[in-house]
Amino acid sequence: MLRISVMNEPGITRMKLEGKLAHEWVDELRNAWAELSEVNGETRIVMDLLNVSFVDEPGHQLLTELRHAGAELMASGPLMSALIDEIEEAESAAAQDASDAN
């Protein structure tokens, strides 16, 4: 199960996730992101993963896509922190490869 809460603060929208980002819940998050992105405009979006206990491979891929689309990923603890580091390192490497190609 995954709970998705949206909290609006000045200049930032926080999507707080609680539970497991796996199976059908990946599509739920994808749909929630699409709806939020449509109405959110230029406001910064933070994906709060502090209370996420598990992410499967499709969930990992979705977080990678969301990061690439401009979401800021926030977490604590070794598992989620390592996941975010991996996503951000891969994004940096891809950006460097693109820069080197030009």
Provide the pairing of β-strand 44-55 with 12-21.
parallel
15 neighbors 46 (Cβ within 8 angstroms) = yes
Q: Counting Cβ atoms within 10 Å, is residue 41 exposed (0-12), middle (13-18) or buried (19+)?
A: exposed
Which domains, from first to last, does the chain contain? 2-101 (3.30.750.24)
Task: Look at residue 99 and tell me whether its pLDDT is greater than 80.
Answer: no
On whether the pTM is more than 0.85, the answer is yes
Q: Counting Cβ atoms within 10 Å, is residue 31 exposed (0-12), middle (13-18) or buried (19+)?
A: exposed
pLDDT digits (tens, 9 = 90+) for 10-53: 889 999 999 999 999 999 999 999 998 888 777 889 999 999 99
